[in-house]
Amino acid sequence: MSNPTLNDDGDQFDVRRLLTDERSRGIVLQLAVLLAVALVIAFITANTLANLQRAGLASGFGFLTDTAFFDINQKLIDYTSQSTFGRALVVGFLNTILVSAMGIVTATLIGFTAGVLRLSRNWIISRAVTAYVEFTRNVPVLLQIIFWWATLTALPKVRDSLSIGDAAYLNNRGMRLPAPILEAGMEWVFAAVFLGIVAAIILSRWARKRQEQTGQTFPSGWAGLGLIIGLPLIVYYILGQPLEWDVPVRKRFNFDGGFNVTPELIALWLALSTYTGAFISEIVRSGILSVSRGQTEAAFALGLRPNQTMRLVIIPQALRVIIPPLTSQYLNLTKNSSLAIAIGYQDLVSIGGTILNQSGQALEVVGIWMAVYLSLSLLTSAYMNWYNKRIALVER
Amino acid sequence: MSATEDHATASSETPAIEIEGLNKWYGAFHVLRDIDLDVAERERIVICGPSGSGKSTLIRCINRLEEHQEGRIVVDGTRLTNDLKNIDAVRREVGMVFQSFNLFPHLTVLENCTLAPIWVRKTPKAEAEAIAMEYLERVKIPEQATKFPGQLSGGQQQRVAIARSLCMKPKIMLFDEPTSALDPEMIKEVLDVMVDLADTGMTMLVVTHEMGFASQVADRVIFMDEGQIVEQNNPDEFFNNPQSERTKLFLSQILSH
Amino acid sequence: MYEPFHRTSDDMLAERPAPATTVGVIGWLRTNLFAGWLNTALTLVTLYILWLAIPSFIEWAFLDAQIVGDDRFACTGHGACWAWLDQRMGQFLYGFYPSDQTWRINIAFVLLFPALAPWMMENVPGDRYLRWFSVAYPVIAAILIAGGLGLEPVTTDKLGGFSLNLVVGLAGIVLSLPIGVVLALGRQSRLPLIRWFSIIFIEAVRGVPLITLLFVSNIILPIFLPPDMALDSVIRVIVMVTAFASAYMAEVIRGGLQAIPKGQYEAAQAMGLNYWKSMRLIILPQALKISIPGIVNTFIGLFKDTTLVIVIGLFDILGIANAMVSNPDWLGLSTETYVVVALFFFAVCFSMSRYSIRLERRLDTDKR
């Protein structure tokens, strides 16, 4: 509490006032904290320099150009054991992104479905989904990852693979799928997909204008989907089906052809999807519940049908509540993908760990990890802030 | 000024609403008991009664926000069943104003009013907006058209809600305690709008405690208790000469202060 | 036109029972299971799936299962093999703790309940004394587990199994709440330096996976410290897990602080309370009450995260399970093993979330 007027020393500097005057107390406190932090940093730096010198390690990121001398079994870009540490890290990063992106897509599908089903009036369905959600949420994700991996690697050996329609095979080394071989002309099919998307957008714009002017509705959603799928299909058949499949063929000890999806990737993807999906289902459910019943009643009273009510009234309001925690869950999924190291999926953390062991450059590797994940985090936060500002309901 | 001398007598053709032998249960609770009610076109009815008497439930059955288990409800010639086509047809012609306004917070006032005409009656946007502005002027807040509901006072929101319902050009308007959630100084502006609406000849069923409004505008006052109609009469007789002891008790409680 | 009408009290209609198809068991079935074609179909499909899955699961887990035996070759049937439970449960629970000393861990566990009781329940007899006891409990438990005061010292690397999860989890939970409160207050502080340090700490810790922080504790911390200052590995883990949970806790409590109407802060100031008193007496109690779901969620997350210690080489219950599954004696029993481990965690985490719901409900009724 400041008592400036009670002290009739007036302008005389009083040391005691340093602690009692609110403003100067704040400054003193901050200076103290700054001093403490500076001391700790100095202590750490001194020790670090001494320890590094003792171990004969150079600091700095020069080691990234050294040869890696280890192989990576899943690589989305070219990489051999002669490539650099730097390139190895990039491969690891891409693997992280791959499994995270796959996981986000399926987790969203699972989560939204489960969330909606849990609200169903059907007692059995809602209880069954609740059981799934409660069990998955209360068991550590690492355990789930290891469980799926153990189950997948307990599948029959390659020689006794389970076949799915003689085109795909499941065994303890993963899943063998037919690889697409793009022949000449396939690029036109891809162009047609792009054209289809553009056409769908134009169509929906035209349909909206038409509705504004004449009031008639047009199913631009279904039509757009038809364009995106139909146009490429037509081009595909006109050009004589320029797509071949390299179907895996059973040989004595292995398969010829096709490509392999490792059990590590499948296990990680399954575990992350079901685990995060359970959390997303809770977010979706509470988002839908957050829209008051009165909104639905008012819409019905105006004559809107249930699907129109969902689309025009409920979902826009529910999404406002759903999207921020949903983006958090996406970020959590990406961070949880780092548990890949426990089952040998070579993501950023796993490869970083190998590099750390081989080169001893612990600080730099850990620094790279932090930088990558922090950037993803901050990007997500920035997006969420932008989104929240943009769609905030305008109030008094 | 009594309503019955002032405007043309209610039409004696097919009733706007026919309710016969209506019974509804919430689970095991018998909330509506043997209701018989015919509402003529252009008739204005005020329904009053203690809370829990079933009055809100009754009018919510008329636009199928509640389902009934026994009895017959015919609205504007259409029988209310589980058939979705019938329900849609009824809801198009019946407007409802809620106690908690229930405006769509993510849409502007204008968009709130044009949503249903555009998507249900397939009205072109310009025409829907013209209709909306016309009704917003009728409820005396055309200048708020581009605002969002969160920026309006309670009284303004309720007036927008009334305009929103009117934009569908309904034949019947239901009001479920329209002023109960309003601060006292805003009740009058909403009641004024409702009086104007009554003067245009709209068929209205109003659940309310505002007895001044009832005596000014209503053709008939219905008193409900324990899920049944206990008394109905014109406002004059109802307020000055109530017949049932329950009505007398209720009136003494309502009108005492 | 209508007829004026009135009923006297004697004419009032009595209640009638609802139609038989709408109430009771039949009514419940119709609305909840068979409302319409789609629902009926879904119900039947789900019932069919359950009918296929449940009996075969019961067969596998109980009827055909093997309960005794020395190794997996004793389990010859199609059922689950539970023979390892007898032999290995000690390890699952206590890790490598000397088996003649495990009674100490048991006592520490039992004493946990009276230590927690005054904080979690109402009207506990001897409330005041129990609160003092719970303050002393960490010291008592530490002595029981690590030794001293006449008890044989046991190094912490021998601690493993579910006891390790419990020790790390409980320590993290108890420490992360006050630290989280301090961080949350720091983030709201008007002093820019304090605010920025808090923000940086919270965002940096929340933005990275816990596994990288555990690597930091294992590999980086020894670089930051002089060689003779080595921290016990379990202590290091507790520090990191606490730091991680505190950052999340800080955000949860910040949400609670923001939910408190400004009027509360102003009223506290108007009463002449200084910053700390107003926080302690007025603001924090309310903020914590609002944040209970988030706080318990953070606790549950923290407890689940204790499994990550296997990545830095500590043997919690999951680590023991992994080791057992690769042991030639019990090779290939992954399903049974992981199911048991899952049940341990499910029991603790599910109880915590149920408790949080009950707590919320109880505190809610206070308000009405």
Contacts of C8 in chain B (CB under 8 A): 244-245
**Pair C163, C224 in one domain:** yes
Q: How far apart are CA C125 and CA C128, in angstroms?
A: 9
Chain B contact present for A393, CB below 8 A: yes
**Pair C26, C93 in one domain:** no
**DSSP code of residue C208:** S
Query: CA–CA distance from C3 to each of B22, B37, B38, B220, C6 (Å)?
Result: 18, 10, 10, 10, 10
pLDDT at C134: 86
| Type of residue found at A298 | A
- Determine what percent of chain A is predicted with pLDDT higher than 70: 94
Distance of CA C197 to the CA centre of its chain: 29
pLDDT at A365 over 80: yes
Contacts of B70 in chain C (CB under 8 A): 19
pLDDT band at C1 (very low <50, low <70, confident <90, very high): confident
**Pair C53, C179 in one domain:** no
- Helix, strand or coil, per DSSP, at residue A246: strand
Contacts of B91 in chain A (CB under 8 A): 300-303
Chain B contact present for C36, CB below 8 A: no
pLDDT band at C288 (very low <50, low <70, confident <90, very high): confident
Q: Can you tell me the ipTM of this complex? A: 0.92
Chain C closest-CA separation from residue A195 CA (Å): 37
Query: For residue C314, what are the domain limits?
Result: 89-97+154-363
For residue C345 the two structure tokens come to 């965690």
Q: Which residue in B has a C-alpha nearest to residue A311's C-alpha? A: B119
Among A218, A302, A393, the strongest candidate for a mutation testing the B interface, having the largest count of B CBs within 10 A, is A302
Q: What is the mean pLDDT of chain C?
A: 87
Q: How far apart are CA C203 and CA A379, in angstroms?
A: 12
Nearest to C238 by CA among C314, C150, C333: C314
- Helix, strand or coil, per DSSP, at residue B78: strand
Per-domain residue ranges for chain A?
1-56, 85-132+264-391, 179-245
Among A122, A130, A145, the strongest candidate for a mutation testing the C interface, having the largest count of C CBs within 10 A, is A122
Q: Note the CATH number of domain A85-132+264-391.
A: 1.10.3720.10
pLDDT average, residue stretch C159-174? 92
pLDDT average, residue stretch B54-81? 94
What is the number of domains present in chain C?
2
Chain C contact present for B20, CB below 8 A: no
C145 within a domain of the structure (yes/no): no
C222 within a domain of the structure (yes/no): yes
Ramachandran category for residue B101: left, alpha or beta (phi over 0 → left; psi -120 to 50 → alpha): left
Chain A closest-CA separation from residue B46 CA (Å): 20
Range of lowest pLDDT (B59-73, C39-53, C55-69): C55-69
Around A245, how many Cα atoms within 13 Å sit in the side-chain half-sphere? 9
Q: What is the mean pLDDT of chain A?
A: 87
C75 within a domain of the structure (yes/no): no
pLDDT band at A11 (very low <50, low <70, confident <90, very high): low
pLDDT at C188 over 80: yes
Q: Which residue in A has a C-alpha nearest to residue C225's C-alpha? A: A47
pLDDT at A12: 57
pLDDT at A13: 62
Chain A closest-CA separation from residue B145 CA (Å): 14
Max Cα separation, chain B? 55
Range of lowest pLDDT (A101-115, A310-324, B123-137): A310-324
C241 within a domain of the structure (yes/no): yes
C12 within a domain of the structure (yes/no): no
CB atoms within 10 A of CB B245: 13
pLDDT at A71 over 90: no
**Pair C192, C330 in one domain:** yes
For residue A280 the two structure tokens come to 């997303």
pLDDT at A246 over 50: yes
**Pair C56, C203 in one domain:** no
Q: What is the CATH number of the domain that holds C166?
A: 1.10.3720.10
Contact B174, B166 (CB under 8 A): no
Q: Which residue in C has a C-alpha nearest to residue B41's C-alpha? A: C1
Q: How far apart are CA A124 and CA C96, in angstroms?
A: 45
Nearest to C152 by CA among C231, C233, C94, C98: C98
pLDDT average, residue stretch A297-323? 93
Place of tokens 């590797």: A365
Rounded to 5 degrees, φ, ψ at B221 are -115, 130
Angle (CA) A121-A126-A127 rounded to 5° is: 130
**Pair C163, C209 in one domain:** yes
pLDDT average, residue stretch A142-157? 91
pLDDT at A303: 95
pLDDT at C191: 86
Q: How far apart are CA A177 and CA A170, in angstroms?
A: 9
pLDDT average, residue stretch C7-17? 88
Query: CA–CA distance from C288 to each of A151, B201, C353 (Å)?
Result: 42, 57, 16
For residue C156 the two structure tokens come to 């912490």
